[in-house]
Chains A and B, each alone.
Chain A
Amino acid sequence: MSTSRRSFLRSAAGLALGGLSWRSRAENLLPRSERRVVVVGGGFGGAIAAKYLRLHDPSVDVVLIDRKTTYIACPFTNRVIAGLRDLAENTVGYDELAARHQITVLPTEVTAVDTAAKQVVTPGGAINYTRLVLSPGIDFRYDEIDGADPARTPEIMPHAWQAGEQTLLLRSQLAAMRSGGTVVMSIPLAPFRCPPGPYERVSLMAWYLKRTNPKSKIIVLDANPDIAAKARLFRAAWQQMYKGMVDYRPAQKVTRVILERRAVDTGAETIRGDVVNLIPPQKAAPLAFQAGVVGDDGKWCPVSQITFESRVPGIHVIGDSCIAGAMPKSAFSANSQGKVVALNMLAVMNGREPDAPAHVNVCYSYVNDREAMSVAGLYRVLGDNTVFVPQAGGLPTSYTELEGIQAASWFNNMLREMSS
């Protein structure tokens, strides 16, 4: 093909398809492989999928792409906000995972997914795939809140719902708050990442403030009709330990923010905070939108409950971005989905019947520095839905110190499993 014809096609297709021809022309970053799974997103879902693919079938070439060289995990960051933990303890690298399982780990952006050519495009070149796993995490629906924007709002009203700078910003705002100040927290309508997370945060912020700023208070504006997870135990904890400090208001949806006044508006009332922790409603991460795997709701990715294959053939979506029936959007769910996608994607690739998924979810929430409570659940596929197994699961009778010890052990294993 002549250069002029090629460049003509490039510009013509570029106009029509938003640069698709440029993508398919990208130089290969890795040599082509006929048996390659590319995993994008190195969190609890993606890292586990990459690892278990290799554990089950060493003939598959696995490439794990994340934009960062280290991963900062979200669970236990509420303890960082309360000054009980260093963010470094939540940070893992990929070196051991890569070496032990011979996974090619690439720290780079994915600028596009070319579904026609079956390749992901990065600034350094394209990588072809036989199948693609996306575990991209979440993004925020700031557009649903008047006066909010994705750039400036989190700098003034941190969400701290992705771990890292945001966690530290909320931590420093809380530590610097004037005596007797008010924290306002806004919780979006479910589904959102980590259902018990906001309520654990309320508990740990209250634990911290009770010691350092006893006249302060926390107003919780929850868009949900009630506490979305572990309700009985969180209510008991607030009643027992943080009475007068935690002002929980259900069915209060923040629809507008006034950044310069650090105020939020529910339609019925405008409330000013010294610290505002605005956790916006959520949706799948931008990469899911780029790849065309988001459903008609414009938020999350519908997938086969057996193989996690999305509406785009060959692209599987796991973790917070996907719709997995009754499973919560949690680190543990992502871990469980990573294992199921590995087993069942290999079944499809190797011409076997996929296995019946057996998912688990376990998570712990702290109510103070030492005491925690777990939630546990099993999930199976019934028809075309993933459902909670009614005989199993539920809450313990109370939060205890022993559960707090189990929580730390649980998190050690969660971090270790994804990074080794």
Chain B
Amino acid sequence: MKTRSRCLLLAAALLSPGLPALAERPSPAMLSESCGACHGTRGASAGPATPIIGGQSAGYIAASLNAFRDGRRPSSVMGRLAKGFARDDYVLMGNFLAAQPFVAARQATDPALAARGRNVHEVLCERCHADRGRRFEDREAKAPGPILSGQWLQYLLITFNEFIAKERPFPAGMDEAFRQLKRGDAEALAHYYASRP
């Protein structure tokens, strides 16, 4: 009972920032640096299944956190963690991380797959994942997207599988591109983006 009432108290405190128990909201650095243990210092991930988030756009980071929170995107721990932040915090974290450099992963990729991926990319993906995946061009102005170029291969493969397995809905416009992929194209794309500096 004691734990429960304490939990309710905390919930109340977090929901109403005016309560004296929490003197102030954590700063953007305070909120964002805790991401570093899993995502690398300032978002430069050194773990192959964990995405590089430093240098991604603030909008993409906030949208991702919202999707984790609402269960629209599968995850290991992010779905659970996102629920503990205020939605306003997502914007603070997004701005903080967007101001960091995107540090491309150094990793081995398959050159033949990467070459095949490049062809697929140019036909289907370059329109939005511009500059060979280095930038996101929000053409339909519907949802912000990530930098793909230099992202970790293992993370890209996991993410493509989430789309293929329909565990995750496509952002606007991406379903049409995905329908045109042939068997093995998604893997080739992952190798292509991962091979980029």
Contacts and interface: CB of A to CB of B under 8 A. Distances in A.
B76 interface: yes
Interface in B63-79: 76-77
A414 B38 CA distance: 6
Given A355-B30, A392-B81, A394-B80, A413 B37 contact: yes
B172 to A, nearest CB: 27
Contacts of B25: 356
Given A393-B84, A412-B46, A413-B50, A359 B34 contact: yes
A358 B39 contact: no
Given A391-B11, A409-B48, A356 B23 contact: yes
28 contacts: A51-B41, A336-B37, A339-B36, A343-B33, A353-B24, A355-B29, A359-B34, A360-B81, A378-B85, A380-B10, A382-B13, A383-B21, A387-B6, A389-B14, A391-B11, A391-B14, A391-B83, A392-B85, A393-B80, A393-B84, A405-B158, A406-B76, A409-B47, A412-B47, A413-B38, A413-B39, A413-B40, A416-B47
Contacts of A403: 76
Contacts of A77: none
B22 A382 contact: yes
Given A376-B77, A391-B83, A413-B39, A358 B34 contact: yes
Nearest to B51: A409
Interface residues of A, number: 48
Contacts of B38: 362, 409-410, 413-414
A381 interface: yes
Given A355-B30, A392-B84, A402-B158, A416 B40 contact: yes
Given A356-B26, A380-B10, A408-B47, A417 B31 contact: no
B7 interface: yes
Given A355-B30, A358-B26, A414 B37 contact: yes
A69 B68 CA distance: 41
A350 B25 CA distance: 20
Nearest to B77: A376
Contact of A378 (B7, B47, B49, B81): B81
B154 interface: yes
A122 to B, nearest CB: 29
Contacts of B10: 380, 382, 387-390
A188 interface: no
A403 B49 CA distance: 10
A374 interface: yes
B46 A405 contact: no
Nearest to B34: A360
B119 interface: no
A405 B11 contact: no
A335 interface: yes
Contacts of B154: 405, 409
A332 interface: yes
A174 to B, nearest CB: 29
Given A356-B25, A374-B76, A416-B40, A408 B81 contact: no
Contacts of A390: 7-8, 10-11
A280 to B, nearest CB: 28
A357 B26 contact: yes
Interface string A394-406: 1010000011011
Contacts of A405: 49, 154, 158
A416 B36 CA distance: 10
B48 to A, nearest CB: 6
B45 A413 contact: yes
